[in-house]
Amino acid sequence: MSEALIWLVAALALSSAYWLYCGVACARSAESPRSFFLADRDLPAWMFVLVATGASFPAWIVLGHAALVASGGLAFAETALCAITIPLAGVLFLKRQWMLGKRYGYVTPAEMLGDYFGGEGIRLCTVLIAVVFAVPFMGTQMRAAADLLAAVSGGAVDPILALWGVTGLVFAYTCVGGLRAAAVAGASQSLLLAAGAIMIGVLALAGGFADLAGGLGQQAGAGAPTVSAPPLGIPGVIQFVRGLGVEPPLGSPWTATMIFSYCISLMGLQLAPAFGLLAFATRSPKGFVAQQTWAAAGAAGVLLVVAITAAGLSRHGASTSDPVARLIGGLAGAAPWFVGILAVAMLAGAQVFASLNLSAASTILVRDVYRRYLDPELDVAGQRRAARITMGLLALAALLLATFAPAAERALAALALGFGLQLLPALAGLCWLRWLTREGVVVGLVAGLVAVIFTEPLGGAVAGFFGIHLPWGRWPWTLHSGAWGLGINAAACLVISLISQRAREHTRRSAFHVFLTAFAGRPRSGRALRPLAWALTLAWMFFAIGPGAIYGNSAFGDGSASAGALATGLPSLWIWQIVWWALGVLLIWFLAHRMALSTRPVRPIEPLPRSQRPRSDVAALAPGESQRWALIAIGLAGLAILANWLFD
């Protein structure tokens, strides 16, 4: 056994013991079974800052970003500016979700949206999105972490065994301690991930600038001659091609449109139900500004834009499909303990995301499906028991998918970001636009989800199952599936909302907005600053991640410079990214703090008495009818599996 492997095992054992201790200590400190779900709405601000940042930028982004920069070049590196768009979603919606949760006692975002819009469709769609995040997407994260463990151990650790081990560990401490355990463990996991990312960046730059220039030179040499764009630049604004798999774009697919739509789709990470649940569990919104401005946009941003991008651009990145594993593995001789520490740091980055989503999805499934439709009389202790069982089933499903059907898992996981983004119009209605109706939002959401499915490989597979050959592939017109979904979602939502206005429903929704307006608070000069806020946001989007990013190809020099020239200066596009990242941090600060979108409410919020709360816990259907529908759904699922097995 090599020295590095011994340190790896020791680091894994120590960290696992600590995560398990977190679970047990949280379970012992729980005041009642209710604590399991929302940690008594008492998570401190510092914990929220760490967990929210770790869950927004999990190891999947760190590992995947370096690998894709290595293969996609500086054009893909532009997507590091998701460090601004991801917290932008939080700036727009998180504080108001927290306020509604506090006021009306919501436990899950599905309850909140269901009550606000007064329907079941939105509730069930939210459940579906939470499950997609908790099963295939979580499986992908854990698989990436397990593969890294296997790679840095030099093949001594079996990736499947590592996958089951690390997922089992996440399940164990989350199952025992609930959301508080996920948050407590997540806080240290996020710090470890950040420190690990810093060190990986330092390692990437340790070879000096000549090493970095070597990697860039290799990329410059790899540029496709058919593309008119410079090899280290963005290859145009858009390409009207039918999509990957049918008519792929010429050269790199990372056009400005692709970068924009991908960065917007990544907002789905903070629009996902797990994030709303985390907001509900937070004691006060005191940490929201700090998280969004300094932790996410600032710290995570600089790590992505500089450190992780450097890891992908270095010679290590240019010569391998997994630059992070290669950089970590390179320490085996000189500092074998860092192999263990850095591998655990990357693993921790996957675990923080997995435990939060596992906890959230199980809570949502129990409260919004099992209790609502099948057992309305279920007490809190029974809900906790059901949540633990559900958590086990979700983890098992993720593991089985990742182990036995990795292709299906990847196809399903690809939907997660797009699905999360589809909640944007619903949350916009809830927090800002009272004229969006239930019909508009639900039809838009369903249409958006369908559009996401049919612009990803899964849609093609589903259509193929019925003998239909789709004329487009993945991401047609170099537009990410999330953006296709959002466009159709928003259009349907607006049109149907315009024709389905009803005074009674409008009055009911207005009660929420009256409360939000009265308590949220606005800056004194808010009305005057609003146009400026819009202008700055749109300008940032245009130049940083939109069509204006093209100017970055040559704004700071010749982007088509040869590798030799690159040794004396950074490529223009990278400087452009760094500049717009810094401006993005200022933008987030302006919106979150100056425009008071994430500051504390102007008045303390008292929870409404249970009798005055919207009726969220009344079964939508009679118990017998619910069970009949559940049996029908299970039967249909079984038939689909049988049909697939027979005809595959």
Partner 1 sequence: MVNPMSIESRFAVMTNWSLFAPFGAGFVLSGFRVADLTLGLFGFALLAAGTVSHLVINRVYGIEFSDGQIAVAAGLFLVALLGFLASWIAAPAFAPANVLLGLAGTAIVIAGAFAYVATRYGLRGAFSMFHARRPT
Q: Which residues bind partner 1 (CB under 8 A)?
A: 11, 18, 22, 25-26, 28-31, 40, 42, 44, 46-47, 50, 184, 187-188, 191-192, 195, 199, 334-335, 337-338, 341, 344
Nearer to partner 1, 1 or 334 (CB): 334
DSSP 556-580: TS-TT--HHHHTTS--HHHHHHHHH
- Supply the minimum distance, in Å, between the C-beta of residue 303 and partner 1: 15
Nearer to partner 1, 241 or 344 (CB): 344
Nearer to partner 1, 342 or 490 (CB): 342
Nearer to partner 1, 51 or 216 (CB): 51
- Supply the minimum distance, in Å, between the C-beta of residue 310 and partner 1: 19
Nearer to partner 1, 146 or 344 (CB): 344
The span from the CA of 318 to the CA of 217, in Å, is 9
- Give every CB contact of residue 564 below 8 A, 6+ residues apart in sequence: 217
- Give every CB contact of residue 385 below 8 A, 6+ residues apart in sequence: none
The span from the CA of 478 to the CA of 258, in Å, is 5
- Supply the minimum distance, in Å, between the C-beta of residue 187 and partner 1: 5
- Supply the minimum distance, in Å, between the C-beta of residue 170 and partner 1: 16
Instruction: Give the per-residue SS3 of 191-241.
Output: HHHHHHHHHHHHHHHHCHHHHHHHHHHHHHHCCCCCCCCCCCCCCCCCCCC
Contact 353, 141 (CB under 8 A): yes
- Give every CB contact of residue 263 below 8 A, 6+ residues apart in sequence: 79, 81, 82, 85, 545
- Supply the minimum distance, in Å, between the C-beta of residue 30 and partner 1: 8
Q: Which amino acid is at 23?
A: G
Cα–Cα–Cα angle for 80, 133, 355, rounded to 5 degrees: 90
Any alpha helices (H) in 78-207, and if so which ranges? 82-104, 109-117, 121-132, 138-152, 159-206
Nearer to partner 1, 334 or 499 (CB): 334
Nearer to partner 1, 132 or 311 (CB): 311
- Supply the minimum distance, in Å, between the C-beta of residue 161 and partner 1: 24
Q: Which amino acid is at 42?
A: D
- What's the burial of 153, exposed, middle or buried (CB within 10 Å: 0-12/13-18/19+)? buried
- Supply the minimum distance, in Å, between the C-beta of residue 28 and partner 1: 6
- Supply the minimum distance, in Å, between the C-beta of residue 11 and partner 1: 7
Q: Which amino acid is at 191?
A: L
Nearer to partner 1, 42 or 558 (CB): 42
Structure tokens at 430: 């809830």
**258 CB-side CA count, 13 A:** 25
- Supply the minimum distance, in Å, between the C-beta of residue 247 and partner 1: 48
Nearer to partner 1, 135 or 185 (CB): 185
Residue 194's Cα: distance from chain center in Å?
Answer: 17
